[in-house]
Amino acid sequence: MVKLVSAIALAATAAVALAEGLPSRQEIRATMRRVADWQIVHQPQVRWGATNWTNGALYVGMLDWGALAEAEEKDRAYTLWVEGIGEGCGWQPAAVRKGAGKNSHADDFTVCQAWLRQYQRLGGKGRLEPTRKRLDGILKDPPKCKLVEQKNWWGTLVRWSWCDALYMAPQVWAQMWRITGERKYLDYMDQEFRATTEALYDKEERLFYRDCRYFPDAPENGYAHREANGAKVFWGRGNGWVVAGLANLLRILPKDAPNRAYYEGLFKELAGRLATLQCADGYWRASLLDPESYPSPETSGTGFIVYGLAWGVNEGLLDRAATLPVIEKGWAALCKAVEQDGKLGYVQPIGQDPKKVTREMTEVYGVGAFLQAGAQVHRLAR
């Protein structure tokens, strides 16, 4: 009898959770609009340049939202906003660096994801050629340094030696392959993506280190090798970058693309692991394995993870019954961090490892993550 009562109670609890579900599509769009509008109004106050990687993540989210706004409400303002920025900077990647990274630094290509999306929609060589010229320059003299170099990590930035890079650059190479049909772009992407994964993916924990400085056996270098609770250091947003980057990459690769199975497998493994690390309030913390040391919500990592999970369910790559409750909690948590005027709070500032976060903190990439997540949650809603 006790077992029967317990089973009934569990079923009732599950039914209540499912009944709560997601907001309506109209409500989701209204929240996304508030967040997007706040950011557009405040964009002139952002200190980073138009081609900076931070804004690249924003443009990707704004295009996802813009496509939704245009389809549902015949509103092209957001897509045109991105188009105007692209025209203003001549559709260029970020400027070539004089120091570490030179012409191949992954961050410098993040904006090109938006530029190439616009090319695929509208055509025009001006949207394509600046990116193509930079990629071809790399292929003529590809970097050959080691990815793992403890004493000279900054010298490895000519390659994708930090996990965030898997959001920033691979999609651009894959897009160029889809546009031109030239296999050299896909082959370079595949080679470098696999090398980064081999270097930074912990197969035991099924999570990515931010970079080799955070390995638990790294030499003393001023960076944390263990959390306060003894766990390995796995940064929330860093792994959010990767799962969102994989989703964006898989959106580009056709079903019959060479090596697609590799990326699907990695996506499902990482997404499944991240789903288990959600905290009770729906957020993922700055430290995935030591959330108690970083108790504040963190919305950029949460946004990217919700995006990845929701996209995976929408595409049939993740189990809907198991993953939908995680997405629902994550989206509700993200919305709680939105102020009445549309400002998204609890965004960890630019960094490379877990840090404390407060509600007044915001950044453009956090908004980009929110909008990417919202577009996929909208697909799930009824």
Question: Does the annotation mark 164 as catalytic?
Answer: yes
Q: Which of 64, 108, 164, 211 is catalytic?
A: 164
Question: What Rg, from alpha-carbon coordinates, does the chain have?
Answer: 20
Are 381 and 372 contacting, i.e. CB atoms less than 8 angstroms apart? no
**Two tokens at 98?**
């004089």
In terms of C-beta density within 10 A (0-12 exposed, 13-18 middle, 19 or more buried), how is residue 140 classed? Answer: exposed
Q: Catalytic residue positions? A: 164
